[in-house]
Amino acid sequence: MNPRSVCLVACCTLAVLLPRVSASQSPVASASNRSEPTYRLRGVITDAGREPIPDAEVAIIPDDGRGKRTVTDDRGRFDLGSYPAGVISFRVRRLGYELREQSVTMGVNGQPTSVEIALLAVPAELEKVYVTTEPQGRLRGFYERRQQRGTFAKFMEQDEIRRMGPPLNASDLLRGVPGVHISTNPNGGNAIRIRNCQPMVLVDGQRVPGAELDEVAVPGDIAAIEFYPSSAGVPAQYVERGNRLCGLILVWTKAQ
């Protein structure tokens, strides 16, 4: 065999042994496989005098119960997490202040987004006072809060509970409330969670640490119930600093 034939055979053999590299096997990663950058959204909530507002609720819009939300700390600061570039809308609210909705553009100049939002105080309005007999008794605070804080909590009284039909457990009264997840409790009844944490339960104004609603109340004994999904509208005497995002359930039992 002459040298030219040997060279031809060797080249052919090499061509058979080497695998063909397809476009999908290219060592250069395509741009679509790269992770999309995200940018953090932080800020501070103040009043008109630039004093920080603690316990203001900040939530992404639309709020379907699964969106991110948080509350401001003692210095009015909040952190809503990270998002890809684009427009993000969120809502800020606090009892005693006007609700504020804001849109920001994330990813400008490749930097995190930081905002300062001032809330305007809502002027206190005096309601008409009617002097009548007092049927509310020990539930006076419940009715006052329902009138003043209706947008911050879910309120139900005995007549409303009765019209719902006979619920099996007290927790069933909160089914359908946005953001509330109800699951079976191995110890009996149901477990209530909001944003994956357990709301504090109070019975007739007394804290019951670690208790599930169904462990301390039955529907037939409930005269009224208040559910606060965050600390934004919780009455000051019931605020739990370590439980800002987990919500609060106030149960008022029937008078004996």
Determine the Cα–Cα distance for residues 234 and 246; give it in Å rounded to an integer: 12
DSSP secondary-structure letter at 111?
Answer: -
Domain regions of the chain by residue span: 39-118, 138-253
Cα–Cα distances in angstroms (integers) from residue 180 to residues 52, 87, 231, 246, in the given order: 29, 27, 15, 10
Cα–Cα distances in angstroms (integers) from residue 26 to residues 16, 22, 32, in the given order: 20, 7, 14
The CATH number assigned to the domain with range 138-253 reads 2.170.130.10
Local confidence pLDDT in tens for the 256 residues of the chain: 554 444 434 344 434 344 454 444 444 444 445 688 999 999 999 998 999 998 888 989 875 445 688 889 999 999 999 999 999 999 998 877 888 999 999 999 889 999 999 999 876 554 444 444 444 677 888 888 888 877 788 899 888 888 877 667 889 888 888 888 999 888 778 999 988 889 999 999 888 888 899 988 888 889 999 999 887 788 888 887 766 678 899 999 987 5
Q: Are strands 222-228 and 206-207 parallel, antiparallel or unpaired?
A: unpaired
- What does the angle CA 162 – CA 168 – CA 169 come to, to the nearest 5 degrees? 95
Count other C-beta atoms under 10 Å from residue 229's C-beta: 25
What local confidence, expressed as pLDDT, does residue 92 receive? 92
Top CATH class, 39-118: mainly beta
For residue 229, give both structure tokens. Answer: 């999904």
Q: Any idea which residue has 């504090």 for tokens? A: 200
